[in-house]
Structure 1
Amino acid sequence: MEFPILIAFFAFIFYLRYVPDKRSESEKEEDRLSENIALYRSGDLSKAFDTFDQRIKQYPQSSISYLYRGLCNKQMGNLTLATKDFLTGISYDNTFADLYTELGKVQRETGQLEDALTSFTTAIRVSRGQAPEPYHQRGLTLQVLGRGPEADIDFATEEFIEQQEAREKQNQTETKRPPWFDRKLLLNIMLVFVWSALLIVSIKAASSIHLPYLTAVVLSVALGFAEPDRGWILATTQCITLLVVYMYVMDRPSSQARTELEYFMLFGAIGLTFMTSFLGAFLKKAISS
């Protein structure tokens, strides 16, 4: 029974970790290609171009690779090739705002102002109005078109988004980690003693390993869930408590077979405590994210 529960628990964590990810494929690939992107940002255009060109040969539908190969082409003055790369990337993923933004920049440079305006507007729509760069670029294009009041609105929106991002970043920076030992941890440690007593009772009363192991799984998951960062303290406390109480407080069984069974249940419960407390912490972090 215990092992099917663990398998189901692993499956649930896998679901939380991967299924709810709402990012587009290009956004996910951007994370995977972070080293290649860093190469482009370092200014080594020739090497960066070769890297993304090779990536496209291996994965012809890699929109993020088309974006950065297009940027390399743009930096090297190949605006026609850059436009082709951006359009190809959009054809594979039309939810990636940076492709529309960079396409719009090239269109503006080549005098295609209305097309550029459309590209920047699409970038704003695709990014759900949360990215400042498309507003800035559309504002510049509106200025060139002589539509100053509309440009001012875009610049004001850009400034608002940047201020909002700055506040969020400052709040994250100012967030302090909880102290290593506090009242919450003390209360949880007291609760661990109660749970350890339940485990000891289940070990002494059970006629098979199922009840103690199931109890250990449920209680240890709760340990990690209650303290995702300090759960190891609770798990260690519980294991030490189990050993000390069983070895020095509880009476030994009269039969050798019963003694061996209780030892098997005791040390199995200790192993499950560490394993499933970690899973409980992982579950809490997966839900929180």
Structure 2
Amino acid sequence: MEVALIGLFFILYLFIRYFLIDHDTAADKDRLRFSEGIRLIQFHRYDEAFRFFDQAVAQFPKSSLAFAYRGKCHLRNQNIHSALYDLTQALSLDNTIPDSYLDRGIALYQLKDYAEAFKEFDKAVWYFRGQQADAIRWRALSRMQLEQFKMAEQDLIRALELGDENSAYLLKQPPFSNVIYS
């Protein structure tokens, strides 16, 4: 009887601990920890954000988000190789952050490595579950460079369905300008 009661309390403890106590991931904790720097990026204050995340990387060298956001700042400031390094570090620490794939793809695209950029954009689209128009549009742009025009057109149409006006513009340009999209 006592063993059964202890077993029941143990199961109850595990249930409470697993389902009721907040168990954030490392990325969730970092989002809270770095909320000030993330806000700086949202307000396009990239120089200040870079300084914030540069310190964050020094203080938390295992934080994928610190590297990802510092990489985003590098990318915005046209430090492409530094951005690529930081984004690669971010993905080696946590390979489930879609923005890191998108930003890494943009860096590779700017370096004219379209095949590798396509792979990164494809991963970004997958991690965003096909619901992020920017990732789909960038994948289309890399497909255009790889002369995969039919697939690029399908991507641009999907991005347009998600409300991306840049895709509407691209669909009016050659080689797509012969088709009318609504």
Closer, same or farther: CA 127–104 of 1 in aligned 2, 3 Å:
same
What CA deviation, in whole Å up to 9, does each residue of 1:242-269 have, x standing for no partner?
xxxxxxxxxxxxxxxxxxxxxxxxxxxx
Mapped to 1, the partners of 2:134 and 2:32 lie a distance apart of: 20
**Structure 1 segment 94-243 matched on structure 2, within 5 A:** 94-161=95-162
Residue 122 of structure 1 and its aligned partner are, at CA, apart by: 1.5
- What TM-score results when the alignment is normalised by the length of structure 1? 0.48
* 1:36 partnered with 2:37: yes
The share of aligned pairs that are identical, in percent, is 29
Distance 1:125 1:39 in 2: 27
Amino acid at match of 1:104: G
C-alpha distance in 1, partners of 2:134/2:81?
23
Q: Identify unmatched segments of 5+ residues in structure 2.
A: 1-10, 165-182
Instruction: Return the offset for 1:126.
Output: 2.7
Structure 1: unaligned runs, 5 residues or longer: 1-7, 164-289
Q: Is the 8 A contact 1:131 1:161 kept in 2?
A: yes
Q: Once superposed, what is the RMSD of the aligned Cα atoms?
A: 3.0
Q: Per the alignment, do residues 125 and 27 of structure 1 end up closer, same or farther by CA in structure 2, a change over 3 Å counting? A: farther
Q: Which has the higher helix share?
A: 1
Matches within 5 A, 1:24-103: 25-103=26-104
State yes or no: 1:16 paired with 2:19. yes
Code of the aligned partner of 2:134: E
Give the Å deviation of 1:69: 0.6
Aligned to 1:3: none
- TM-superposed CA distance for 1:27, in Å, is 4.7
CA contact (8 A) 1:62 1:92 kept: yes
Q: Which has the higher contact order (CA 8 A, sep 6+)?
A: 1
Cα separation, partners in 2 of 1:53 and 1:140, compared to 1, 3 Å: same
Cross-structure match for 1:279: none
Contact 2:75 2:103 in 1 (8 A): no
Larger Rg: 1
Q: Is the 8 A contact 1:27 1:96 kept in 2?
A: no
CA positional deviation for 1:49: 1.0
Distance 1:119 1:63, change over 3 A: same
- Report how many aligned residue pairs link the two structures: 158
